Structure 1
Amino acid sequence: MLIIRVPHESPRLLRLDLVTNQLSAFETTFQPNDYRRIEPLAWHGQTLYVLFHDQPNGSATLQPVLAKLTLNQQAKIEILAELADWPDYWVSANQQALVYRQSQTATEQTLVWWNLTDQTSRTLTLPLVSHAALALAPDGSALAMVTLDPTQQVAELRRYDYASQTWQTLDQQASGQIVTTNPVVGWSADSQHLWWQRSLPQPLLAKEYRVYTATGALQSTDELPLHHQAVVSADAETLVLVGVAGTMLQERQHGRITAQFPLPVDLLEQKVLAGVNR
């Protein structure tokens, strides 16, 4: 099944059965006009986790509210948290973990990690990073991120294990304006490998793609030419680089070029390929 919210109308939640292709509305214990917007985040069992845009007491500003709905004959609502701002969030592919940024300062952020299996939450305080430098494992077991340590002048690839509540530093790189520009971290589809795309000082604007096992061992490394985007395969062994040498699309496996062909400029401009900003 698929949860749908209806745009341009009073917020409603619709359920689309992908087997029967039937569309139906949820009966709810709250009035649709109570909230200006409903954004479904994750669905586990009979529980749907959502973000509401609330407008309390006729206020001109909207306040985001994290809530869960129990999807029985009626969708019962339970407010979990009122947030100061619309948060960044990450949902594991298996719909068992939801992580959202609750607050942040100039150097620090507070994340709340919801275990959707047992409906418990945990709070993490850690350095502030960009969207691209933080990734949740598809199985919801771990989080990977690139942090900067200004005192040691290094960038660090770190992994947080949810079960043991421990951090592990997998790799370090001397920091600098070029080296630490737009670091990107991600996971393979089976959560057994994670990867770090980092910039190199020489050759100028080149990138390096490093793959690690889930236990933290470095498995492979590949120096890449300048490119606009990169798409990673499910096993993290194949890279497709978009925009190499202008308009070339290039496939690489373990550092070797296995295929490449020119890509029309208008296709690049439309950004229709997956992996934008990778």
Structure 2
Amino acid sequence: MEWFEETLHENWRQGIRIKEILYRDQTELQDLMIFESYAWGRVLTLDGVVQTTTGDEFCYHEMIVHVPMLAHGAPRQVLIIGGGDGGCLREALKHEGVERVTQVEIDRSVIDLCRKWLPTISDGAFDHPKARVIIADGARFAAESPERFDVIVVDSTDPIGPGAVLFTEEFYRNVRRLLNPGGILATQCGNPSIKPQELVDTQAAQRAAGFALVDYYLPVVPTYIGGGMALGFATDDPAKRKVGADAIRERGVPKGLRYYTPEVHVAAFAHPAWMIERVGH
């Protein structure tokens, strides 16, 4: 019996039983493995950390994309930084009013391997006429691009290795510059139950970057160690945070979603008492 053991956190480990290793290689930037599991379908790991599984990826991808897009109300231009598995791209393209979704991914091999071994996650999104994929450093793109976007989703790895730069004040300042008035930034902020300081630090960095409102919301993603995730929500239009379920419904929720609902959208911004004490809000 072979198990994948994730050791992202020094005092907490999780294991996923492996049925078959489908692919493993050291790319130019990271150690990448894809395997078939017994309980969660196919699993992608980078540097020993679970990135996504076909069994529960919708929990994460729907929430990190549809919350900012429906809070905005009328996004035309969307930017995804990271997200090489294509799940965020797939979800963003479900919004009919979107004119283009630009994805900036640093590692071409992640996209290629996910298209081959995890095709259900992107579900043809990379070939969509509204999709534009750029292979580049996301931090550099944010610093240099003259383009502007209505929603920016940072679907990054944890703040270690290549992904660490995507959690800095400088990066958030550059991302804020890329947003149109009323634009929204959504980011991956880790598991506050295990490493609350990661959320504290990212929220502080986003405030220091000058956003008028910095908040976070809480989906549950079973195979992300500990289950509970925090996703950052930053904007210069605080009213975007207060959109109610009825207003969201009127904006047109994409059909066929498996996690996101207007009620879940609103409820995800309710924070446990201990988290309010530690992080704020």
Structure with higher strand content: 1
Larger Rg: 1
TM beyond 0.5: no
What TM-score do the two structures reach when normalised by structure 1? Answer: 0.28
Structure with higher helix content: 2
What TM-score do the two structures reach when normalised by structure 2? Answer: 0.28
